Structure 1
Amino acid sequence: MLRLIPFFTTESQLIAALKRGESRAHKVVYERFAGKMLAVCTRYCSNRDDAEEVMLDGFMRVFEKIEQFREDGSFEGWIRRVMVTESLMFLRKSKQWRQETSIEDVTVEPDYEWADTALNESDLLRIVNQLPDGYRTIFNLYAIEGYSHAEIADMLGISEGTSKSQLSRARAILQMSLKKMEQEPGRRNQTGNYEKTYRKTAN
């Protein structure tokens, strides 16, 4: 249920107004979700201008496709999936997600048992955003959105093996970056899995 806001007191009322095409409902949805959805798009589109454009296209898609929303699920979650789809469409058009770092550049194997970091949330978000676009896209889809490798392969038009290998390389790069930052002077150790921490900051 929505917080008390002008015109609409429940999410069902808001959705009904959207389906009637009411402009005030569009305004309420945009104002309520724009900040969160820009953050979603920014995780896929490293350029903020591109992320803002994708977000606006995403809201247009939400308003156009609102009849497809079944109210037995989360409205915010449905909007988020639309934004992810729009981001992937942008990356496919620009071919950014195909950018890869050579495997020779990844000099360590990911250690999934390693979980000690000395990072705050902004540090973690920053190093994930510095991943090559292809790695970052698959890391976000798998670790944040919860898609399976089969689903990612279908979404991106790649093999499951490619999805798995890019995720592994992304984790290896992240681990190296995290360990380097942990060794910086003045940092205090704190224990926590970086993917769980990142998932928490992303939601």
Structure 2
Amino acid sequence: MITEQSLNRIWDGCLKQERKQQEMLYKVLAPRMLAACARYAKDRDEAEDIMQEGFIKVFGSMDKFRGEGSVEGWIRRIMVHCAISRYRKLKPVILADELPEGVTVHMTYNETGLEAKELLQMIEQLPTNYRNVFNLYAIEGYSHQEIGETLGITELVSRTTLHRARGVLKDKLSRLNMREAHRLAC
């Protein structure tokens, strides 16, 4: 694990256009940035493409980092924006009601025995607009106003989409719990 201080030294070398420091920055942060990109991509290849595009932007705009917050946080934000930009270019956000009537939309965490990997897979299965809003809010910590600005939607649409995404996840968790209960009862 690299420290913030070490990362800052690498970053200083990147600002001086030192090729080895740029390679080091990539090697150190690529696994974490790939994981961030994967939350928005449909598969690993697309996540890698997004990450590559993100690093190109990082290296092309290093002078724009103002030192507010961490270098890693700034780079992660660029990766997220690259992922979101890709979807905005490919197709507009679809806001049609894709949920069946009567789906409960309040989500609370309970002990399901669900592994983090399984939960991430459920999130990946969400419709693109639900997944993007959910990731930006729940994982990246964006506000609904920031999500709206990033995705070109209103704050209300962001809230509604998050509400629906949580409902879909809760429904999937409920079905999983029922299958598990049934399996244990047999």
- TM-score, normalization: structure 1? 0.81
Cα deviation 1:122-164 (Å, max 9, x = unaligned): 1101101000000000000111111111111111111111111
Q: SS state of the match for residue 46, structure 1?
A: coil
Corresponding position of 2:152: 157
Q: 1:141 aligns with which of 136, 141, 150?
A: 136
> How is 1:35-184 mapped onto 2 (pairs within 5 angstroms)?
35-95=31-91, 98-100=93-95, 102-105=97-100, 107-113=102-108, 115-184=110-179
Q: Distance in 1 between matches of 2:47 and 2:78?
A: 14
Cα 1:93–1:165, aligned 2, differ >3 Å: closer, same or farther? same
Q: Distance in 2 between matches of 1:185 and 1:172?
A: 20
Corresponding position of 2:30: 34
CA-based RMSD of the aligned residues comes to 2.2
Residues 14-23 or 109-118, more deviating: 109-118
Cα 1:23–1:164, aligned 2, differ >3 Å: closer, same or farther? same
How far 1:112 moved relative to its partner?
Answer: 3.7
How far 1:104 moved relative to its partner?
Answer: 4.4
How far 1:51 moved relative to its partner?
Answer: 1.3
Q: SS state of the match for residue 119, structure 1?
A: coil
How far 1:35 moved relative to its partner?
Answer: 0.8
Q: Distance in 1 between matches of 2:141 and 2:35?
A: 17
Cα 1:89–1:22, aligned 2, differ >3 Å: closer, same or farther? same
Q: SS state of the match for residue 183, structure 1?
A: helix
Structure 1 counterpart of 2:174, which letter? Answer: K
Q: SS state of the match for residue 21, structure 2?
A: helix
Cα 1:100–1:49, aligned 2, differ >3 Å: closer, same or farther? farther
Structure 2 counterpart of 1:47, which letter? Answer: D
Structure 1 counterpart of 2:120, which letter? Answer: L
Structure 2 counterpart of 1:177, which letter? Answer: K
Q: Distance in 1 between matches of 2:27 and 2:96?
A: 38
Structure 1, unaligned stretches of length 5 or more? 4-8, 189-203
Q: Taking every aligned residue pair, what percent have the same amino acid on both sides?
A: 38
